[in-house]
Amino acid sequence: MTSLDPRIAWSDEHLAVIDKPAGLLSHAAPGNAGPNLVDALGDLIGGGDDPDRPGIVHRLDKDTSGLLVVARTPEAHAALSRMIAAREVSREYEALVEGCPPSRTGKIDAPLGRDHRSPERVIVGGRRPRPAVTHFEVRERLTRDASLDVRLETGRTHQIRAHLLAIGHPVAGDPQYGTAGRYGLERQFLHSRRLAFVHPITGEAVAIESPLPEDLSTALALARAA
């Protein structure tokens, strides 16, 4: 076992819910070399038209940890893809952010596109913007910062990170959108905490949760003590 080994949180013959560690790519992509989830899972996953992304219906950023659902068959891949597009998969994250939003809950409805000056980043507006909606609720107010529950309505690249920066509360430790190294973090404090959906084949209600990994638990304790 290594720190980059994904954990199978739940599975059947149709699909699986994977707990992905930070540092592991969801799949190989141009300009993104390194270990990836597709290679790590091998024959466990399948379906879809892209041979480089078998079984993948949504993804997490390399340094975002936590849960994502993958398909094991073409039938499940097609059904899960439809569900993701129809917003029928509940995706909830925990984020530690710089500062604290003035309201307990909020909705960020702002299209995201590539930053003209830094194409590896996305910003509100930007180049070829696409609709993006993020909901948040303050989980815990701390001395300087806040822990948030964040729910995705859409799933754009870097959506949570860019949206929270846009409202003045970037994710703690984020080297691209916030302050790197905050509370000793070596990556952004963003964890896919809960996935819930109706199984597209069996009709079973599936709800899986993942606890914070050790590096984020340690940073949260430091934030509480600040």
Residues annotated as catalytic (active site), given as ranges:
61
Nearest residue to 163 (alpha-carbon basis) of 113, 124, 117: 124
Please name the residues in contact with 30: beta carbons below 8 A apart, sequence gap of 6 or more. none
| Cα separation, 137 vs 115, whole angstroms | 27
**Neighbour-count burial for 3-18, b at 16+ CB within 10 Å, e otherwise:** ebebeebeeeebbbbb
Burial class of residue 216 in the structure, from the number of CB atoms within 10 Å of its CB (0-12 exposed, 13-18 middle, 19+ buried): buried
Instruction: Give, in order, the Cα–Cα distances in Å from 31 to each of 5, 27, 73, 98, 180.
Output: 22, 12, 28, 30, 22
Instruction: Give, in order, the Cα–Cα distances in Å from 23 to each of 3, 61, 73, 99, 221.
Output: 9, 9, 26, 26, 22
